[in-house]
A and B are shown apart, each in its own frame.
Chain A
Amino acid sequence: MNISALLDEAAAKVPGVLPSSVLVKDYPTLRLGSPAYLLPLASFLKEKGFTYLEIITAVDWLGPVSPEGYPRGGRNPNPLQESEPPMAAPAKNPAVPYKPVFDLLWCLADIDAKARVFLRLEVPRENPVVPSLTGLFKAADWQERETFDLLGIRFEGHPNLAKILTPEFLKGHPLRKDYAHVKDKYDE
């Protein structure tokens, strides 16, 4: 199977699907225009043999960005204080462009054809919601719970979107860049 032909077919069939400008190195990467295209694209790829869901994860791009979309200067120059909402970050550094988004990443693999494709989707940092893939791949169950737990992205349609790794009393989502630890009983 020709992977690039298949991806062209996918882009023709599902509108709003484009080759990503930034690739996950060495792998074909598609960018989704909006969350609405995720389920049609994933089911199209599943029909075509991409039956194995390899990873689900996300990156928090809170920070001043370069033209390619990567944070500039390594780290946030004026980090947010504990009480400030994430959306306050751009106002604190008005001179630099910000990209207050979560970039979600899915990897689907075709076991027989030895091919894999990455899908990515940007969602706003405020109230991030994306459709759940649990209806198509059961492997999405825990990986979506992990992404929810560590980054606070909600997956609509997930049957049991509960915390999985962090303890019940932990507030916030540790892998967000503006995560601030609230002292609990285990801190001295």
Chain B
Amino acid sequence: MTNKEVLHDETPDTSPEKAPAFSGGKFDQLFVNLGPQHPSTHGVLRVGLTIEGEVITKAEPDIGYLHRGTCKLAEARGYHQCVVLTDRWDYVSAMPNNLALCLAAEKLLGAEIPARAQHLRVIMCELNRIASHLLFVGTYGIDLGALTPFLHVFREREMILDLYEMLCGARLTYNYIRIGGVMSDVSPEWAAKTREFLGFFKPRLKEYDDLLSFNPIFLARAEGVGIVSKETAIDWGLSGPNLRGSGVPYDVRKSDPYSGYEKFDFEVPLGKTGSCWDRYYCRVLEMVQSARIVEQALDALPAGDLTAKGVAKTPKPPPGEAYAHVEASRGDLGIYLVSDGGPAPYRLHVRAPSFVNLAILQEMLVGRKVADVIAVLGSIDIVLGETDR
């Protein structure tokens, strides 16, 4: 029999009854390492997967590759110097990190922040949320095989980074929000450019919907995959869009308002089923709300000081402890800060949203197919700089 005859003999029977039987109908267990160097783990994350055939029976995320010990480093630095460390946690959205530490330190110091600085903080954090979610939309598209949206969202993200560069000289690690206020004022040109950006950005959301959100291939990969119920999400302590994707209306900006968020009119988008697509679309809708907040804050930007009176160059807060948390782009970022009256914090603890969110991966992946790992992992949207600190 020649090869040609084999190939053209007859069409193969693909019915399940004719499928070749494996030993006892069971697959052997296989251990697969995903990462630590893998394009879809978004950094140095390793996931140890035990699989049977295509089905995952056990998943063990392994983190710590990027652990720099920032909490320990903070114990040997002045409070202002600690703000620099916060930039390196969630490096794709560093403004909320700055803000969380400053809020905790200001609580200890009892500083009153001027209204203009409060508004500027809100503007910067919300622009950062847009930039961070844009990055998510782009990389999640890539994870699931759609390369084009990445180029579109990066066009917009570049504009925000240019705004930041104009504002404070840095594109990622800003160190803009300082204890007591903010680093510098915004110029009228900056405000005009920001409005120009918002005018450009808002119509783009329809583009993302057409290109990615309601693309049938994307829906097939993300909808109904990795479903997390309300109760499970709360039990695992998820926060941010991961929690809201499951329909839990928890947003620190609403539940424990800070920096005057109670003055702004915005909604908290919620998902319905808690699938990967719900988490994804929550982020898309959040960008709309962030743009609304930025507009309102720009319209109502009050005149006045940029820094609080009486914050020293080397602050020595009175002994005490404070907890402050903010709604960072990835969720509830909490800072627990203890002062012993000295020039450096006695103890700094970070509740990093990526760290807490990632833990659920152990449960979410079990019983799913290998191809879903990327869809599920991508939808949690972690930044390894923050999980490992």
Interface centre among B107, B237, B334, B389 (most CB of A within 10 A): B237
Q: Which of B345-364 contact A (CB under 8 A)?
A: 346-347, 349, 351, 355-356, 358-360, 362-363
The CA-CA distance from A65 to B160 in the complex, in Å, is: 48
User: Does B356 lie within 8 Å of A143, measured CB to CB?
Assistant: yes
Kindly provide the distance from the CB of B363 to the nearest chain A CB, expressed in whole angstroms. 8
What number of B residues sit within 8 Å (CB to CB) of A?
44
Whether B332 pairs with A54 at a CB distance below 8 angstroms is: yes
B235 beta carbon closer than 8 Å to chain A: yes
Scan residues 101-117 of chain A and give those whose CB is less than 8 A from a CB of chain B.
105, 107, 111, 114, 116
Q: Is residue B261 contacting chain A, with contact meaning CB distance below 8 A?
A: no
Q: A68-B319, A70-B340, A139-B359 are in contact. Are A51 and B235 (CB under 8 A)?
A: yes
Interface of A is mostly: loop
A138 at the interface (CB under 8 A from B): yes
Residue contact B336 to A55, C-beta cutoff 8 Å: yes
Query: In the complex the two chains form, what is the Cα distance from A118 to B338 in whole Å?
Result: 14
A88-109 near B? 1/0 per residue, CB < 8 Å: 0000000000000000010100
A165 part of interface (Cβ distance < 8 Å): yes
Q: How far is the CA of A160 from the CA of B249 in the complex (A)?
A: 31
Give CA–CA (A166, B351) in the complex, Å. 17
Q: Is the CB of A111 within 8 A of B321?
A: no
Q: Are A59 and B338 touching (Cβ within 8 A)?
A: yes
- In angstroms, Cα B341 to Cα A126, docked, is 26
Q: Does A167 contact B (CB under 8 A)?
A: yes
Contact with B along A145-173 (1 / 0, CB 8 A): 01000100000000000011111000000
Q: Are A150 and B255 in contact (CB under 8 A)?
A: no
Contact B236 A150, beta carbon cutoff 8 Å: no
Given A54-B334, A164-B64, CB of A118 within 8 Å of CB of B341: no
**Stretch touching chain B among A2-10, A24-32, A36-44:** A24-32
Partner of A27, one of B323, B358, B388, B389: B323
**Could you tell me if A53 and B388 are in contact, using CB atoms closer than 8 angstroms?**
no
On whether A111 and B255 interact (CB within 8 A), knowing A22-B320, A105-B336, the answer reads yes
- B327 → chain A closest CB, angstroms: 13
Docked CA distance A114–B253 (Å): 11
Contact B67 A165 (CB under 8 A): yes
Partner of A167, one of B64, B108, B334: B64
When distances are taken between beta carbons in the complex, the residues of chain B under 8 Å from A74 are 340-343
Q: Are B235 and A70 in contact (CB under 8 A)?
A: no
A111 nearest CB across to chain B (Å): 5
CB distance from A54 to the nearest CB of B (A): 6
User: Contact: A142 with B323, CB < 8 Å?
Assistant: no
Interface string of B369-389 (1 = CB under 8 A from A): 000000000000000000011
B72 touches A175 (CB 8 A): yes
Cβ–Cβ contact A66 & B319, under 8 A: yes
Expressed in whole angstroms, the Cα–Cα distance for A59 and B363 within the complex equals 30
B95 at the interface (CB under 8 A from A): no
Sample of 9 A–B contacts (CB below 8 Å): A55-B323, A66-B319, A70-B346, A71-B340, A105-B336, A138-B237, A150-B71, A163-B64, A165-B63
Measuring CB to CB, which residues of chain B are less than 8 angstroms from any residue of chain A?
A: 63-64, 67, 69, 71-72, 107-108, 234-237, 248-250, 255-256, 319-323, 325, 332, 334, 336, 338, 340-343, 346-347, 349, 351, 355-356, 358-360, 362-363, 388-389
Chain A residues in contact with chain B, CB under 8 A?
22, 24-27, 51-55, 57, 59-60, 63, 66, 68, 70-71, 74-75, 105, 107, 111, 114, 116, 118, 137-139, 141-143, 146, 150, 163-167, 174-175, 179
